[in-house]
Structure 1
């Protein structure tokens, strides 16, 4: 019977093309508005490392005290000073710990005809790759021993390897960074967490990752800083790099891996004890104020998903509801117009259930067509957002297969729900009265 209902629906659509087009358009516009907003929200709110997000923790230590914050705000800085990084690395409490900061480097290609260019770098400790599950295409990260002796080694991305050498088989080759030679010991595969949870400082939540990774000890020895991301609310920076490392300026990120609730509790206690020790020595003159947040808690605390995005999604789905109500009105008008047809079918022996199934089949088909149209409009809207706001939306406003399936499913499901009443009205037609009036 399903095929028969489909044929009846197609015939009905052909007899009322304008009304059908209006219903499809209402559904498509509603789907496009809601799915566009939902796409942005879903990318912003997704868990970037779901299999491990409950084991990775961002560490915060208040090294500035009340004088460095607004009244009533007790949130510690989002980054750490070099002094605190050095102290925490010495604790050896977590299974893995990573200290890191951004660096900007100038890469000089081996081909002298090619011009030097800037690359984004990350100075970090050896556990970075294992802790964040960074895939290695070839080679490896550096060891603790190489970190300690300041080995001039780097790990680069496949994209950079192919740009420099035309191949990703580059382990053992050398690159020039800032006038110094570095040996490539590893090449990363595709790794693009969104949001970029490990470093969301200064609105970098959805920016692309780094091209080059190098030992933190090397960056320190060569006095590499992140001048754009140094925050010195707790005291002056100083003029030299040595003064920066002795200052209370915060400019490094620090993460730990704690696989069990027991290890989380133990490290939180260590962290509090560390802050208490700083208070005892006179460095801090306020009670210990520390935070230990896993990935999802960290992203929530940093408000990676702005309230505007949540509100826009609610408004968009409200508009979708308005579109569905409009489609419902058109369905009712069409159902009343076809009262004679339904009466004739009832008089010829069709049951009320079959009339109901026929009407619902038409609603489902409207939902499918409206969903496909909405998907196309969503793709157009996302393209427009990427074109108008290339820096902010390029990596967020992207349609995937999940969105396509969701768009059609939402359209069909919503249309079926809203089509129940018109279908019920159709099955309640009184055959004798309609035929008499006809």
Structure 2
């Protein structure tokens, strides 16, 4: 029976090619605009570590107090060196790490290799198990290496390929600035986007980190942060003065496995802030935050407001296209009132009429969806060319997006056809045949 209705639908669509083309184009453009912006929004707002995101938290301590430089009552998203070291020393979380971005110059013994800066992070040893970072060779350093300020380094797979042609380089040395560091581990394929672990000091979609040094070792070497250094008052000259200043430039993250650990850690932050006030360092009530990863991504506005607005505009365009399709389908179906009257007089019930015109609407939706797929592919290519490379690499077409596009086209068309189909079902055969 469906095959018969499909034959009727195709015959009807061929009978009015201009009207059919208008409906297909309306559905195709509406679906393409929505799915193109959805692909970008989905890429930017995806959970970078879904199996663990509810256990990762980002503490904030208000080291500035009430001042015009603050975003409302929110504390700075980064920490002072004093606070970060204090939290690391107290170690009240299951796992934790202070971190800040570095960019040492990698010098190679190979004359064919030019010296160049390598973006990276100064982190604690627990950074790697906390984020389930995969290793190709070796492993991370131990907590004892943090305490001993060991000159060890973990490098990325790409840097290992460049310096050592991809072989196991654990135990070998590399030159970073003027110091030699022993390679203790080589990462596997690990390119989290956005870089959720360092949103406080760097761009969410910045370059992939290639070197990881112990936090204590990096500060011993006086490696400056490559970005995200904020001060109310400029510190005195010198690296030591920077460490003891009220400038914020250290990121911090913790792993808390249970709700009770989260509550205890919040209490600890408030207690720490009260201790700082009692010592005279802070002159205000505790104003701390402890956000999980999802809330942290929202707070750092990883998804630009323009992207969200573009998606809303695209949905409005789809709605306009659906309204136009409603009008076109209504005109098309009511022009066939005579045909409907004859079918009803010959014994077809209203359900049969609804199925016939529903199948026709579905055929229009599938055709519009195919057009929407081509336009979505074109839209994503144009969007990728206009976006920064790190963001553009995230926006792509996969099988899920293909099925979602087709499904959206069919569902949108069927929804648009509900009223026209209902009007077709309400055609009274006696009156229609009398008029004819």
Residues in 2 aligned to 1:3 and 1:166: alpha-carbon distance in whole angstroms: 61
Residues in 2 aligned to 1:182 and 1:203: alpha-carbon distance in whole angstroms: 25
1:34-53 CA distance string (max 9 Å, x none): 22222233233333223222
Residues in 2 aligned to 1:182 and 1:382: alpha-carbon distance in whole angstroms: 43
SS of the equivalent of 1:375 reads helix
1:305-384 to 2 correspondences below 5 Å = 305-384=303-382
1:1-80 to 2 correspondences below 5 Å = 1-67=1-67, 69-70=69-70, 73-80=72-79
The corresponding residue for 2:386 is 388
| Per-residue deviation, 1:184 | 2.4
| Per-residue deviation, 1:436 | 5.5
| Per-residue deviation, 1:128 | 0.7
SS of the equivalent of 1:237 reads coil
SS of the equivalent of 1:67 reads coil
The equivalent position to 2:420 in structure 1, one of 419, 422, 430, is 422
1:48-127 to 2 correspondences below 5 Å = 48-67=48-67, 69-70=69-70, 73-127=72-126
Are the counterparts in 2 of residues 192 and 208 from structure 1 also a CA contact under 8 Å? no
Residues in 1 aligned to 2:137 and 2:115: alpha-carbon distance in whole angstroms: 25
Are the counterparts in 1 of residues 202 and 227 from structure 2 also a CA contact under 8 Å? no
| Per-residue deviation, 1:414 | 1.5
Give the unaligned 5+ runs of structure 1: none
The equivalent position to 1:250 in structure 2, one of 241, 248, 251, is 248
Structure 1 window deviating more from structure 2 (266-275 vs 95-104): it is 266-275
| Per-residue deviation, 1:271 | 1.3
| Per-residue deviation, 1:168 | 5.7
Would the alpha carbon gap of residues 67 and 355 (structure 1) be closer, same or farther in structure 2, given more than 3 Å must change?
A: closer
Residues in 2 aligned to 1:340 and 1:412: alpha-carbon distance in whole angstroms: 27
| Per-residue deviation, 1:391 | 4.5
Are the counterparts in 1 of residues 98 and 123 from structure 2 also a CA contact under 8 Å? yes
The corresponding residue for 2:190 is 191
Residues in 1 aligned to 2:267 and 2:6: alpha-carbon distance in whole angstroms: 66
| Per-residue deviation, 1:154 | 1.8
The corresponding residue for 2:140 is 141
| Per-residue deviation, 1:13 | 2.2
The corresponding residue for 1:278 is 276
| Per-residue deviation, 1:437 | 4.9
| Per-residue deviation, 1:340 | 3.4
CA RMSD of aligned residues (A): 2.2
Are the counterparts in 2 of residues 104 and 121 from structure 1 also a CA contact under 8 Å? yes
Residues in 2 aligned to 1:156 and 1:45: alpha-carbon distance in whole angstroms: 28
Residues in 2 aligned to 1:330 and 1:224: alpha-carbon distance in whole angstroms: 67
Would the alpha carbon gap of residues 418 and 230 (structure 1) be closer, same or farther in structure 2, given more than 3 Å must change?
A: same
| Per-residue deviation, 1:338 | 2.8
Residues in 1 aligned to 2:427 and 2:120: alpha-carbon distance in whole angstroms: 72
Would the alpha carbon gap of residues 402 and 437 (structure 1) be closer, same or farther in structure 2, given more than 3 Å must change?
A: same
Q: What is the TM-score with the length of structure 2 in the denominator?
A: 0.93
Residues in 1 aligned to 2:92 and 2:377: alpha-carbon distance in whole angstroms: 48
Residues in 1 aligned to 2:24 and 2:276: alpha-carbon distance in whole angstroms: 66
Residues in 1 aligned to 2:202 and 2:175: alpha-carbon distance in whole angstroms: 30
